[in-house]
Structure 1
């Protein structure tokens, strides 16, 4: 029996990468709305 690959550029990995990227973007925008500062300002880069 052949096991599915779990590492590399697989559909499974790409789906999770996209989902986590969307989640991170939404959290970043929500944090900006709550604090009134941009992400770079929160990190002390601006």
Structure 2
């Protein structure tokens, strides 16, 4: 049984931008998800309301009890 030699993983290989379902794509997806999550938390903290309410995508429902 012959095995092909594998190239060592380097920072250039792991962080390069490639299309498709690759380990590099999953790394970039995780990085962008973390940035989006932090942006949502900052929006909520600085505005005092949720992200959907901040962009007026959800209206507040108020109940009047008599």
Q: Scaled by the length of structure 2, what TM-score is found?
A: 0.58
- Note the aligned Cα RMSD (angstroms): 0.8
Q: Which has the higher helix share?
A: 1
- Structure 1: which 4+ aligned runs deviate by more than 3 Å? none
- Gaps of at least 5 residues in structure 2 are 1-17, 60-66
Q: Scaled by the length of structure 1, what TM-score is found?
A: 0.79
Determine which of 26, 34, 45 is the counterpart of 2:46: 34
- Gaps of at least 5 residues in structure 1 are 1-5
Alignment of 1:1-40 (within 5 A): 6-40=18-52
Q: Rg larger in 1 or in 2? A: 2
The count of residues paired between Structure 1 and Structure 2 equals 41
